Amino acid sequence: MNNPELYAQAPPYCHYYFDLIQTDNLMEELQQNKALVLDTLAAFSEAQAEIAYAPGKWTVKEVFRHLMETERILAYRALRFSRMDPTPLPGFEEDAYILQAKEMKYDLADLTLEFKAIRDSSIQLFKPMTEDMMNFPGLANQVSYTPKTLGFMIIGHAIHHCNILKTRYLK
When the pLDDT of each residue in the chain is averaged and rounded to a whole number, the result is 96
- Say if residue 171's pLDDT is above 80: no
Band the pLDDT of 128: cuts 50, 70, 90.
very high
CB contact set of 69 (below 8 Å; sequence gap of 6+): 94, 97, 101
Residue 126: name the closest of 91, 155, 99 by CA.
155
pLDDT, tens digit (0-9, with 9 covering 90-100), for 138-153 = 999 999 999 999 999 9
Query: If DSSP codes are grouped into helix, strand and coil, which group holds residue 71?
Result: helix
Q: If you average pLDDT over residues 99-113, what whole number do you get? A: 92
46 φ, ψ to 5°? -60, -40
Could you give the domains of the chain?
A: 4-169 (1.20.120.450)
Q: What is the pLDDT of residue 146?
A: 98
